[in-house]
Structure formats: C-alpha cells, structure tokens
Amino acid sequence: KAGVTQTPRYLIKTRGQQVTLSCSPISGHRSVSWYQQTPGQGLQFLFEYFSETQRNKGNFPGRFSGRQFSNSRSEMNVSTLELGDSALYLCASSLGTNSGELFFGEGSRLTVL
C-alpha cells in the first residue's frame, strides 16, 4: 500500500512569490491535514480537509490556503511568500474517523530567499 506522497520535496522561492504544494494521501483515506515544521518548533497545524471540505483550521494568516479534490488529493498554497515561511511542510492522511492515526508524508522543504 503506497504511503503519503508529497511533491515537490524541495523548492526555493523568493519573497513575494507564491507556491503550491501537493499531497496524495493513502488510498481510502479521506482526511488530509497540513502542518508547518520549523527548527526548534513543534508541528504547527495549518488545516484539515475531509471529503473536499475544510474541517479544521489553525492560526495561520489568509496567505495560507488549501483545497481537496474528489480523489482526496490535496494542495496547499502560500501567497506573497515571506522569509519566515521557510519550513518543512508536512501532509498527513487518515481515515478521518475518531480513531484517526495520522500517516505523514516526507514533507516539502520550502526555502524563501
């Protein structure tokens, strides 16, 4: 069974640009969550999508957005990039039920110059 796949793995952008990251969850998983991880910080929750609807949202500015498609694949977008957006962005999928163990991808490492 294939795991959670994130693309791209690495990318470099400059301030002011925008970026789109993609996540393909484990087959059969309907929930996709996104997290930001920076050095010295824990994982910061961005948002969760379940059946194409945003079910939960963390405390990030509106520059961070996401969506989920009918096949459960998800994308997140960050507009008007800032230096502080440099981070590892992790996607996690789960069945979405209350028993929800999260399965993480390897992450997309974004560097903003």
Positions in the binding site for another protein (CB under 8 A): 4, 33, 35, 40-43, 45, 48, 55-56, 59, 90, 98-107
From residue 105, how far is each of 5, 7, 8 by CA, in Å?
A: 6, 10, 11
AA letter at 36: Q
How near is the Cβ of 97 to another protein at its closest, in Å? 10
In the complex with another protein, the residue whose CB is nearer, 13 or 55, is: 55
Strands (E), the chain: 5-7, 10-13, 19-24, 31-37, 43-50, 53-57, 64-68, 74-78, 87-94, 103-104, 108-112
In the complex with another protein, the residue whose CB is nearer, 14 or 52, is: 52
Residue with token string 């920076």: 38
How near is the Cβ of 68 to another protein at its closest, in Å? 15
In the complex with another protein, the residue whose CB is nearer, 18 or 56, is: 56
How near is the Cβ of 28 to another protein at its closest, in Å? 17
